[in-house]
């Protein structure tokens, strides 16, 4: 199974100049890796999700490289156009050449009150425009402490169940167009990480739950996110239940990001 390492740049970097420098560094390091190993991350798909203002430029710059480009979110209101000030649709994202979007990141759930209903709408719009979806789920510290992790994840995964119930025709392609990213909220940007065996057991539960929705979804890609860095990536990559990583802070430096990708490329 191919691994995925995805850089969520969030509201970074501050300037287009810094975006250019990061892309220069990424492309140079990819070329060096290719020269050394003769294959360019053959077992790991790399993707970056820049801030919306930078998305078109980053996609244009990466279109002839193996690196894919994703949005961090899309409009829930309409898949195409409309009077929705401040929003950007799935169609507009696809039109600039991006092929994926992140949805349901805990920062969006927290700061924008994104409910399961809204996320189902967004997921439907994304898939209608042929965008793949990286769907983020995860529990808070309080929920983790109260041992509610699996209950919380089950509730968040009802969005996928509702999608399948509404559009069973998606089942044939869903496992290649939907990726689940398990990101415990308490591990994001904190330097605190669950143990690999905890993540592994949680991923096993996620995969079993998806298989209960439909047998064909048993092999869905499940990534771990939350304080993944160049030092701990190897340990996550060694576990067969962890199909890759969704990386925040460490994706803003080419060296640490590609070290993580290399760990999952093995
Ligand atoms: P950090 O890697 O900075 O903890 O962020 C994880 C994340 O939220 C990726 O979506």
pLDDT recorded at residue 36? 72
pLDDT of residue 186 exceeding 90 = yes
Asked whether 134 and 181 are in contact (CB, 8 A), the reply is yes
Distance 50 CA to ligand 1 centre (A): 13
For the entire predicted model, the pTM comes to 0.97
Adjacent-strand bridge partners of 133: 101, 178
Ligand 1 in reach of 265 Cβ (< 6 A):
no
Ligand 1 in reach of 184 Cβ (< 6 A):
no
Q: Which H helix or E strand runs over 101?
A: strand 100-103
Look at strands 44-49 and 3-8 and give their pairing: parallel
**Among this protein's residues, is 43 annotated catalytic?**
no
Mutate to test the pocket of ligand 1, among 108, 111, 227, 232 (most ligand atoms within 8 A of CB): 227
pLDDT of residue 7 exceeding 80 = yes
Give the span between the Cα atoms of 251 and 207, in whole angstroms.
26
Give the span between the Cα atoms of 133 and 120, in whole angstroms.
11
Domain CATH number, residue 52: 3.20.20.70
The protein residue with its alpha carbon nearest to ligand 1, atom 5, reads 248
Asked whether 5 and 245 are in contact (CB, 8 A), the reply is yes
pLDDT recorded at residue 90? 98
pLDDT of residue 30 exceeding 90 = no
pLDDT recorded at residue 216? 86
Ligand 1 in reach of 50 Cβ (< 6 A):
no
pLDDT recorded at residue 35? 73
Ligand 1 in reach of 189 Cβ (< 6 A):
yes
pLDDT recorded at residue 163? 97
pLDDT of residue 23 exceeding 90 = yes
- pLDDT category, 1, cuts 50, 70, 90? confident
pLDDT tens per residue, range 201-235: 999 999 999 999 998 888 899 999 999 999 999 99
Q: Residue 22 is part of which domain span?
A: 3-265
Give the span between the Cα atoms of 51 and 65, in whole angstroms.
19
* Average pLDDT, integer, range 15-30: 96
Q: How far is CA 264 from CA 37, 106, 141, 244, 251, in A?
A: 15, 24, 27, 6, 14
Q: Of 119, 131, 132, 58, which Cα lies nearest the Cα of 92?
A: 131
Adjacent-strand bridge partners of 165: none
Average pLDDT over the chain, rounded to whole? 96
Distance 212 CA to ligand 1 centre (A): 29
Ligand 1 in reach of 104 Cβ (< 6 A):
no
pLDDT recorded at residue 198? 98
Give the span between the Cα atoms of 223 and 142, in whole angstroms.
22
pLDDT tens per residue, range 122-175: 999 999 999 999 999 999 999 999 999 999 999 999 999 999 999 999 998 898
pLDDT tens per residue, range 92-132: 999 999 999 999 999 999 999 999 999 999 999 999 999 99
pLDDT recorded at residue 40? 76
Helices (H), 214-253: 233-237
Ligand 1 in reach of 6 Cβ (< 6 A):
no
pLDDT tens per residue, range 35-55: 777 677 899 999 999 999 999
Asked whether 188 and 226 are in contact (CB, 8 A), the reply is yes
User: What tokens does 164 get?
Assistant: 């399948």
Asked whether 204 and 241 are in contact (CB, 8 A), the reply is yes
Q: CA triplet 41, 98, 51: central angle to 5 degrees?
A: 95
Judged on CB neighbours under 10 Å (0-12, 13-18, 19+), 87 is: middle
Give the span between the Cα atoms of 30 and 257, in whole angstroms.
11
What number of H helices and E strands is found in the chain? 11, 8
> How many other CB atoms sit within 10 Å of the CB of residue 207?
19
**Among this protein's residues, is 87 annotated catalytic?**
no
The protein residue with its alpha carbon nearest to ligand 1, atom 1, reads 248
Name the active-site residue from 107, 114, 139, 183: 183
Provide the number of structural domains found in the chain: 1
């Amino acid at each position: 199974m191919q691994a995925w390492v995805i850089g969520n740049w969030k509201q970074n970097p501050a300037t287009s100049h810094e975006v250019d420098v990061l892309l220069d560094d990424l492309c140079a390091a990819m070329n060096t890796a290719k020269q050394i190993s003769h294959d360019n991350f053959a077992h790991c798909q790399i993707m970056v999700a820049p801030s919306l203002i930078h998305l078109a430029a980053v996609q244009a710059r990466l279109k002839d490289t193996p690196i894919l480009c994703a949005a961090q979110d899309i409009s829930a209101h309409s898949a195409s156009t409309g009077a929705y000030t401040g929003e950007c649709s799935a169609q507009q994202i696809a039109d600039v050449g991006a092929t994926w979007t992140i949805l349901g990141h805990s920062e969006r759930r927290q700061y924008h009150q994104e409910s399961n209903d809204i996320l189902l709408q967004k997921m439907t719009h994304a898939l209608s425009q042929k965008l793949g979806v990286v769907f983020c789920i995860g529990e808070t510290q309080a929920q983790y402490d109260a041992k509610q992790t699996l209950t919380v994840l089950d509730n968040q995964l009802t969005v996928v169940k509702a999608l399948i119930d509404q559009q069973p025709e998606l089942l044939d392609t869903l496992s290649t167009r939907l990726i689940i990213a398990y990101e415990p909220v308490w591990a994001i940007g904190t330097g605190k990480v669950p143990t690999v065996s905890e993540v592994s057991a949680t991923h096993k539960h996620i995969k079993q739950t998806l298989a209960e929705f439909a047998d064909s979804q048993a092999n869905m890609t499940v990534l771990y996110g939350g304080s993944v860095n160049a030092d701990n990536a190897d340990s996550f990559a060694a576990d067969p239940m962890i199909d890759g990583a969704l990386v925040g802070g460490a994706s803003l430096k080419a060296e640490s990001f590609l070290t993580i990708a290399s760990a999952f490329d093995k």
